[in-house]
Chain A
Amino acid sequence: MTETTQRPLTAESAAAVVTEFFGRYQAHDVDGMTDLCSVNAGFCYVPVELWGKQRVLRGDGKVRTVGKPLWAGLIASFPDLSLTVHTIAGNDEGGVVAQVDIEGTQERAWGLIAPAGKHYREPHLFIFRIGPDLLIDGITAYWNDAGISQQLGHHEVD
């Protein structure tokens, strides 16, 4: 786990944690991303929703049990995965909002999408909750999954 810092929680320090998080994401350092999160950090990727006949699987739970496998799987399917961070804004209560484009070229299956070597780039909005110990306590993200599917040549909604 990342060494606990003595810096106080401010808008600047909270935003710095998120900047570091995306730096590690860009480096495909999933363990490093996880290390920036508290042990029980919450995770919610709102668009992740897989409908089965009897249940719906959602990208909702904890960083360590849901987030980490999703990050690792995404990087495995898109080995050139890259991020462009447009804005990061924080407040003294530990709220941080970031606008980030994520892009990559598909080499392996991702969800229901078979690999066709296509590239996607999609805007994302991330909302972080940073705790007083400057660890991430919660991550929520929004994007348009239909945009990704269509760019990858998958035209079925499910």
Chain B
Amino acid sequence: MTGTPAQTVRAFLDAFARHDVDAAMAVADPRVSVTVHPLAVHGQGADELRRVLADLVRAFPDLMISVSQIIATGDVVTALFKTEGTQAADYAGAINTEKHLDIDQAWRFVTAGGLITEVAAYWCQAQLYRRLAVKRYDEIAIA
């Protein structure tokens, strides 16, 4: 069943918000292009996207996703949302100090045939590191 591009992205984000990575990946094309600018991830394939989602859920087990806006522009859908959670494992090089994270993000999706074919994620890693008590970019693991 294929819905609108916005419905496809909603299904992805709803599943991600439930920490159901498998359900989120069910609406991703197996050859999905994945760009996560703050993590310097530029890859292709479902495994790449699965890793991005799973890492977040693993490091922040109480992860909460609050979508504020969905902007549909043809097959391109942009979602603005806030991620919040308490760190419980190392993430992006930052050791676990059990700090609380709240980061505003924008993810730009391209859809085709009811599947997500491209994802580009934008957030500020400076804000993320600031909240996780990282002091220097060249010493991320030293909190």
Contact = CB atoms under 8 A, between A and B. Distances in A.
A39 B74 CA distance: 29
A97 B80 contact: no
Contacts of B127: 47, 49, 145
Contacts, number: 95
B123 A142 contact: yes
Nearest to B77: A97
Contacts of A144: 37-38, 122-126
Nearest to A86: B120
Interface residues of B, number: 28
A144 B136 CA distance: 15
Q: How large is the interface on A (under 10, 10 to 19, 20 to 34, 35 or more residues)?
A: 20 to 34
Contacts of A96: 73
B124 A125 contact: no
A146 interface: yes
Interface stretch (A2-10, A28-36, A71-79, A149-157): A149-157
B71 A51 contact: no
A89 interface: yes
A143 B120 contact: no
Interface in A36-85: 46-47, 49, 51
A117 interface: no
Interface string A112-148: 0000000000011101000000000000101111110
B137 A91 contact: no
A105 interface: no
Nearest to A96: B73
Contacts of A147: 37-38, 125
B104 interface: yes
A13 interface: no
Contacts of B104: 46, 142
Interface in B55-72: 69, 71-72
Contact of A146 (B69, B108, B129): B129
Contact of B137 (A47, A123, A150): A150
A89 B73 contact: yes
B138 A155 contact: yes
A94 to B, nearest CB: 10
A125 B78 contact: yes
Contacts of A156: 135-137
B76, B80, B106: residue with the most chain A Cβ atoms closer than 10 Å:
B106
Contacts of B21: none
Contacts of A149: 126, 137
B18 interface: no
A127 B129 contact: no
Contacts of A91: 71-74
5 contacts: A49-B127, A125-B122, A145-B127, A149-B126, A155-B137
